[in-house]
Structure 1
Amino acid sequence: MNKIVYTLLIFLIFNHNFYATNYYVSNNGNDNNVGTIDSPFKTIQKAADIMSSGDICYIREGIYREEVIVSTNNLTFKNYQDEKVIISGADLITNWLPSDIGSNIFEASFTGAETQFSMLFVNNKRQKMARWPNNETDEMMMPEDVKTGYEDCQVFNTRSGKNGRRVKFPNLSGFPVDHFKGGIFRGIVGKKWINPMGIIESSNDTELTVTAISDDWGTNSSKMFTDNGKGFGFIFHLNALDQPGEWFEENGKIYFMPPVGKDPNDMVISAKNRKLAFVLNNRTNIKVDGINIHAASIAMKNTNNCEITNGSVQYLWPFFTRKGYAVSKTEQGGIFIDGNENLFKNMYIAHSWGHGIFIDGGRKNKIENCFIDNIGWIAQFTSSIQNFGDGTIVTKSTLGSSGRFHIRTNNKIDITYNDLYDCMKMGQDAGSIQSTNGGNWGVPLDLKGAEIAYNRIHDCNTLTDGNKEFVLALYLEGCFNYTVHHNLIYNFKTDVVPDGTFVYLGPRMATIKDCYYYNNTVWNVDWGLRVWNRENRGDVENILFWNNIIDGKANDGETSDNDRNVNSLLAKLSFKTNIRNITGNGNALFVDANQGDFRLQTNSVAIDGGTEVSGITDGFNGNAPDVGAIEYGSSFPDVGSNIDPEDISFELISDSSTLSTNSSDLKKESIVVYPNPSNSLIKITNLSNNYIEKISWKLTNLNGRELFTGKALTIDISSLPVGVYFLTVNKTKTFKVIKN
């Protein structure tokens, strides 16, 4: 082969982006265009269909209501010049008509969603599904607060089979017979990881008769009736639609109660229709950068080396019912990953009845600098991150409020430099980080050298329960071959039964070994170490607890009143150079434990009190390693995500961009005016958020006469006659405004 030709061939092979094409998408575009910046496509899917390896799709500001199926490898989808881009699983609902079912209730046609239930949004903000009692707040996971839409209830066995289950709400009265017939009962009773659900057969005064959906309820499982079946519950039903902001879907229609005096036809209302915004199945080297996903999720089955960065995924999964209670990907939703070396970085992931991220398999998937919050409103074995993958990495991320677990893993995972707090808001008997051998009580689970290090794990509680309120930082039951070191763990306390715990090991009926706990600081917990030697068939080998500070008020021992023979296991654990005798407020050890400052005080007994551990205490100050997570003279590393959720808002984003598609106009400010037409209020927003505080405007009539001026972002035009007006923003951009 000619040397020049050969060299050119090699150049082209290793520089496949040399002839890459940039495509552009805009709300103002047309799929019959050529996809240039001056002639953009209208849909992202159009670009995805024609792109070749190495191509980039730049997306202009606005909302794109579509599911994007990617069928080519090595592509990039990116927002253009930091403009705000949303891909939504919700579609606009229009043509609202007054409904005859109640005052100030409107209805519109709705064909239904791909998910079991839908979600309704006004200006992309979630509205509340009609329920009794009303949720008067935005809080979804505080059932003990009467304003959050839960009431005291009790479930009963009535007869065999799923029919005829009985529920009593002491405060449910004053409604006609069968007022809630056909609705959904959801309870948090008994073992608070089961959560009974059912379809209401009849209602009469304070009682419901229910057909059980939950298997344990239908089979009279004793787990359902722990503490006499008492707990919390609510009812979803169209007849519960009685406050502004509520909605319900039924029989091909969606019903909505707007604020008093508002016409929903003047509002931007959408309902969730699609499960997914991006489908990246069987793809390699796909980058999704700077994209916000709303009311939808991402599918990544057999997906490798893909990156989802610098964006958000919110309102992933709506309400759902299910028969079982164990982990389920298909029923519980979430971002689905099954592949190798995929990266989620700089992402805000929040607001879901189900999971956050579900890693179903693959190797070395990574979650870095993500903020995952408000996950698992349904609670049934939901996780902010559920991991079945091998070698998963979770680092420098923040995991906030969750109905149940922060991280639940069945395989090797490294969890480092994270901030984890406020788990277990909707249940009991679980913890922030959990791994368990499950029903294989005699077969230990190999975590393959997993590392849990340099994390803050703190401030977690459970629902109040007179029987059991077990909440743990580390629920590593029947697991072996892992290391836990240099973690700050504090404020695991429960309300009635003192059950807040540092670590539970099991092993139940298994033999666990090679578990290492070094240099952790554990404070303000009810329990230290807990084990369960079930039927005296559990055993431990080479379990080391060295250099740890553990609250002196915390006991060690069993997890069950029926299995107190645990001393044989505790005696086999290796305890070395730990500090366990410090009580009170910790001032003898720490700078300020009450404020989460666990740096060591001068002359603390922890200084130089530890044992050297290769690879763990390397680089210590002084004559020997210190005890605890922080060496004297040092500070704990910065942990958690640097993402501020307050910086992320979808509420003011329009479907229609007002930016010109002409390349000479691309530097202009991205001003949006909506709704337009309107009969009352119009709003102004600057999508880039760079100069929102500098906006000023002038409203004139067709003759140029000035009517109003101002700087407020909301303009009341209700007093104007019907007609056409001109709104000039920042003296440079003029919009035609229609008063209808």
Structure 2
Amino acid sequence: MKSLFSILFALSLIINQASGKDIYVSPKGNDKNPGTLEKPFASIKKAQLIARNTSGKVVIYLRGGTYYLSETVVFTPEDSRKKNAGLTIKPYANEKVIVSGGTRLNLKWESYKGKIMKARVNGDQMFDQLFINQRQQRMARYPNYNPSVRFFAGSSADALSPERIASWKNPTGGFIHALHKAEWGGYQYQITGKDTEGKLKMEGGYQNNRQMGMHDKYRFVENIFEELDTIGEWFYNKDEKLLYYYPEKSVTNLAAAKVEIPRLKHLFEFKGSEKNPVRNINIEGLELTHTLRTFMQTKEPLLRSDWTIYRGGAVLMEGAESCQVNACYFNHVGGNAVFLSNYNRNNKISGCHIAYAGASGVCFVGDPKAVRSPSFEYGQFVPVNDIDTARGPKTNNYPANCTVENTLMYGLGQIEKQVAGVQISMSMSITATHNTIYDVPRAGINISEGTWGGHEISFNDVFNTVLESGDHGAFNSWGRDRYWNPDVPAMNKIAKDHPALITADVIKTITMHDNRFHCEHGWDIDLDDGSSNYHIYNNVCLNGGLKLREGFYRTVENNVILNNSFHPHVWFENSGDIFRHNIVTRNYYPIGIKFWGKEIDYNFFADQASLEKSQKEGTDKHSAFGNPEFINPSIGDYRVKSTSKALAVGFKSFATDKFGVTSPALRKIAKKAPIPVLKGIEGVSQSQSIEWFGLQIKNLETLGERSATGMPEEIGILVLKVDAGSPFEGVVKANDVILSFKKKTTNKVAELVAEQQKNKSDKTVEITIFRNQSTQNITLDKPLK
């Protein structure tokens, strides 16, 4: 019977394959053709309609070239396929295929003023972005675009000054971009005109869920004609239908230049439902580009986070099962690259390249109606007696068991700043693995709340994050679930009286392991406000340390935290938190800690002073200190040698070369994470002391030296000894730190020696030292001999 079954199964596969079909499309084709290789169709839509009526496995092959879509390609349940008879849209024979949500313009240019050119545009076009010879140009803006400037590549407090506004004849249609006042993401406004007093009228400012208003300094304006004043800028006068452009130097022949503008928000949509899903459709190997910016549609608040969201992207999945986006290149899309909204199951984003998106990379966001007793703003709280106490979601209308893997993402948040490489909200069991994410304005990976947990965050390489914001992390999460209250005494009472409520939303443990994180202006791992039910292990933190704030049931073990430490902030009573078997290279930084959780012990510190400080706080009774003996930290190998004392407290080495994308093609183009120079590790080879005019001095380099002197960081020149007869005898003392010579900062011995040589003929000597927690200026009225 088993043999007969196998034969019948094989025959069924052959029959399915035989009834399948290859369909061909070409920009040079014709929809009246039969869709063969020799006579292809012209449109993806025509091929889609033919595929609907074709059983078996179907591949739509796109010949090389650019496909300008006049409307979004929408897959509905009519397009659904059986498991072994899927539909794939892919390039033919590795030809380069670009799917554009834009259109190409044929323009006749003429001089306007100076080097500015102008051209008349036919038809009603949406001038949201402009691409010349495939390079994105800039709307006329103030201040001008400068990529070396941290915020918005150019921002200024006077962007909205009365004088500047008065210089704009008709700013209607212009945009204001500003950071949140606390640097938590950003705001955007559209200018709708001026009032009778000459003040701007505007709408917008809903792009952040914690309203505090725009930043006073970090803001800029764009799409205003009077600000067209530098190369690469453009302005479109929609009333006159005239495009003005100040050509880049690379555009040597504007008449022959390729001019493109976007007109669609989405390129592909999967539109089904839980009862009637879209199944087994794959998009593979395409370049996706020219989608509209969507920042003025970013309105929907998420649960008590800083986020509002726009449910859309270049690819939108809603009501999809077992669908995939493989090896696609998202090139300067205007909003999100991929968005999985509401019901989605077993979908996968794999091997993709997402560069310079206007918003986020890949978003998983469920339906708020699936949440029990939801609250939407930070200060909102459903009274305990009114809370629905049932565990888990109310419906299935959310993403679950979906994956983003082996995907390279960088330069995200070109327009919006409350973004992430991977954003997860109201979802369950999402896997984010082997992704490389860098050069982003806020988080690399963000989990907006606990609903409903079960996520696996593993083998990701996330660095150069929080570049245009603050108070955040390379990995960031909030846990402001229905149990959470920002008032600590109230929260302690809720936890005591209703302990089951703590995990009623985060019903499955969130696991983070074998990642490498680096944050510029915050924490490498930031579990904020109530983030609960996490297991965090085998991660490397390169710069910002690890923070746990106001949550429960977090186990953090076997992590390596470099040039930083553990930041416990405001823990609740009986939190159940565990921090053990970790290597830290600084003392802890507790804030508002009255309760120390379940276990803070068996950790390994880089120096004795840090260990002793923790033990005075009542933690780390069995912890140890010393040189962890990393195998090769200069190349990022943080495994420890067999002789390391860290092994004795339970630390176990783990591979530190498996982070990020696995595809050779993606690895070749990915930027490398910054490997830090280690500081403050006891026993690591330090600079040798030297004799300098009767002083024994060396660079201050270890955390122990910092602790002994009271210095806030490991810089300056440590005085080890003052010899008899030294010109500094009776003036400088052992354990002083020399900070400057002749008012020139000297962080290293070599700098001190060089400054003295430059000024050796001076009759007086001026130095600044650090002693007893303060700086002192010392003057010797005699030259150094």
Same fold (TM over 0.5): yes
SS in structure 2 of the partner of residue 606 of structure 1: helix
Question: Which one of 166, 169, 177 corresponds to residue 186 of structure 1?
Answer: 177
The residue identity in structure 2 corresponding to 1:405 is A
Deviation of 1:567 (Å)? 2.1
Deviation of 1:376 (Å)? 1.5
SS in structure 2 of the partner of residue 608 of structure 1: helix
More relative contact order in 1 or in 2 (CA 8 Å, sep 6+)? 1
Cα separation, 1, equivalents of 2:45 and 2:165? 52
Bigger share in helix: 2
* TM alignment of 1:162-241, pairs within 5 A: 167-168=160-161, 176=167, 178=169, 183-188=174-179, 190-193=181-184, 195-199=186-190, 209-215=199-205, 223-224=212-213, 229-241=216-228
Q: Choose 409-418 or 56-65, whichever is displaced more.
A: 409-418
Cα separation, 1, equivalents of 2:401 and 2:165? 57
Cα separation, 2, equivalents of 1:540 and 1:113? 61
Indicate whether 1:285 and 2:280 are aligned: yes
Indicate whether 1:436 and 2:502 are aligned: no
Which residue in 2 is equivalent to 1:596? 636
Indicate whether 1:605 and 2:649 are aligned: no
Deviation of 1:81 (Å)? 0.9
Which structure's CA Rg is the greater one?
Answer: 2
* TM alignment of 1:339-738, pairs within 5 A: 339-360=344-365, 361-388=398-425, 389-409=427-447, 410=449, 411-412=452-453, 413-438=455-480, 440=482, 441-442=484-485, 444=502, 445-446=505-506, 448-458=508-518, 460-462=519-521, 470-492=522-544, 501-507=545-551, 512-513=552-553, 515-525=554-564, 528-532=566-570, 538-553=572-587, 555-558=588-591, 564=592, 566-568=593-595, 570=596, 572-582=597-607, 589-593=629-633, 595-601=635-641, 603-610=643-650, 626-627=651-652, 630-631=653-654, 636-642=657-663
- Give ranges in structure 1 of 5+ residues lacking alignment: 155-166, 319-331, 463-469, 493-500, 559-563, 611-625, 650-740
Cα separation, 1, equivalents of 2:631 and 2:114? 60
Question: Which one of 61, 64, 71 corresponds to residue 61 of structure 1?
Answer: 64
Whether contact under 8 Å (1:295, 1:315) holds in the other structure is yes
The residue identity in structure 1 corresponding to 2:520 is N
Which residue in 2 is equivalent to 1:72? 79
The residue identity in structure 1 corresponding to 2:511 is E
Question: Which one of 316, 334, 339 corresponds to residue 335 of structure 1?
Answer: 339
The residue identity in structure 1 corresponding to 2:557 is Y
The residue identity in structure 1 corresponding to 2:583 is I
Whether contact under 8 Å (2:176, 2:219) holds in the other structure is no
Deviation of 1:12 (Å)? 4.3
Q: Deviations over 1:529-565 (max 9, x none)?
A: 23235xxxx3343211111011224x3212xxxxx3x
Q: Deviations over 1:71-130 (max 9, x none)?
A: 41231111111111111112101123437577532234265678xx62211232211122
In structure 2, the CA distance between the partners of 1:269 and 1:488, relative to structure 1 (3 Å rule), is same
SS in structure 2 of the partner of residue 16 of structure 1: helix
Deviation of 1:601 (Å)? 4.4
Cα separation, 2, equivalents of 1:542 and 1:217? 36
In structure 2, the CA distance between the partners of 1:151 and 1:644, relative to structure 1 (3 Å rule), is farther
Indicate whether 1:125 and 2:142 are aligned: no
Whether contact under 8 Å (1:447, 1:480) holds in the other structure is no
Cα separation, 1, equivalents of 2:119 and 2:548? 52
Whether contact under 8 Å (2:475, 2:517) holds in the other structure is no
In structure 2, the CA distance between the partners of 1:530 and 1:111, relative to structure 1 (3 Å rule), is farther
Whether contact under 8 Å (1:212, 1:218) holds in the other structure is no
Cα separation, 2, equivalents of 1:312 and 1:218? 29
Cα separation, 1, equivalents of 2:94 and 2:203? 46
Deviation of 1:635 (Å)? 5.2
Deviation of 1:9 (Å)? 10
In structure 2, the CA distance between the partners of 1:113 and 1:457, relative to structure 1 (3 Å rule), is farther
In structure 2, the CA distance between the partners of 1:230 and 1:127, relative to structure 1 (3 Å rule), is closer
Whether contact under 8 Å (1:59, 1:78) holds in the other structure is yes
SS in structure 1 of the partner of residue 352 of structure 2: strand
Cα separation, 2, equivalents of 1:50 and 1:271? 30
Cα separation, 2, equivalents of 1:189 and 1:541? 32
SS in structure 2 of the partner of residue 384 of structure 1: strand
In structure 2, the CA distance between the partners of 1:27 and 1:274, relative to structure 1 (3 Å rule), is same
Q: Deviations over 1:645-703 (max 9, x none)?
A: 69789xxxxxxxxxxxxxxxxxxxxxxxxxxxxxxxxxxxxxxxxxxxxxxxxxxxxxx
Deviation of 1:429 (Å)? 2.0
Deviation of 1:598 (Å)? 1.8
SS in structure 1 of the partner of residue 468 of structure 2: coil
Whether contact under 8 Å (1:58, 1:80) holds in the other structure is yes
Q: Deviations over 1:583-611 (max 9, x none)?
A: 8999653245465332324632213331x
SS in structure 1 of the partner of residue 19 of structure 2: coil
- Give ranges in structure 2 of 5+ residues lacking alignment: 81-85, 273-277, 292-313, 366-397, 486-500, 611-624, 671-785
Cα separation, 1, equivalents of 2:463 and 2:666? 16
Indicate whether 1:19 and 2:19 are aligned: yes
SS in structure 1 of the partner of residue 547 of structure 2: strand
Whether contact under 8 Å (1:599, 1:636) holds in the other structure is no
Aligned residue pairs, count: 552
In structure 2, the CA distance between the partners of 1:17 and 1:111, relative to structure 1 (3 Å rule), is farther
The residue identity in structure 1 corresponding to 2:560 is T
* TM alignment of 1:1-12, pairs within 5 A: 11-12=11-12
Cα separation, 1, equivalents of 2:400 and 2:165? 57
In structure 2, the CA distance between the partners of 1:579 and 1:198, relative to structure 1 (3 Å rule), is same
The residue identity in structure 1 corresponding to 2:446 is R
Whether contact under 8 Å (1:198, 1:211) holds in the other structure is no
Whether contact under 8 Å (1:529, 1:557) holds in the other structure is yes
Which residue in 1 is equivalent to 2:692? none
Question: Which one of 317, 320, 325 corresponds to residue 308 of structure 1?
Answer: 325
Whether contact under 8 Å (1:189, 1:230) holds in the other structure is no
TM-score, scaled to structure 1 = 0.67
In structure 2, the CA distance between the partners of 1:292 and 1:517, relative to structure 1 (3 Å rule), is same
Which residue in 2 is equivalent to 1:163? none
Q: Deviations over 1:402-429 (max 9, x none)?
A: 1212122234211111101111111112
In structure 2, the CA distance between the partners of 1:603 and 1:59, relative to structure 1 (3 Å rule), is same
In structure 2, the CA distance between the partners of 1:636 and 1:61, relative to structure 1 (3 Å rule), is closer
Which residue in 2 is equivalent to 1:274? 264
In structure 2, the CA distance between the partners of 1:290 and 1:334, relative to structure 1 (3 Å rule), is closer
- The percentage of counterpart residues that share the same residue type is 21
Q: Deviations over 1:628-658 (max 9, x none)?
A: xx35xx6543544446569789xxxxxxxxx
Cα separation, 2, equivalents of 1:430 and 1:194? 10
Whether contact under 8 Å (2:286, 2:328) holds in the other structure is yes
Whether contact under 8 Å (2:349, 2:405) holds in the other structure is yes
Whether contact under 8 Å (1:152, 1:232) holds in the other structure is yes
Which residue in 1 is equivalent to 2:691? none
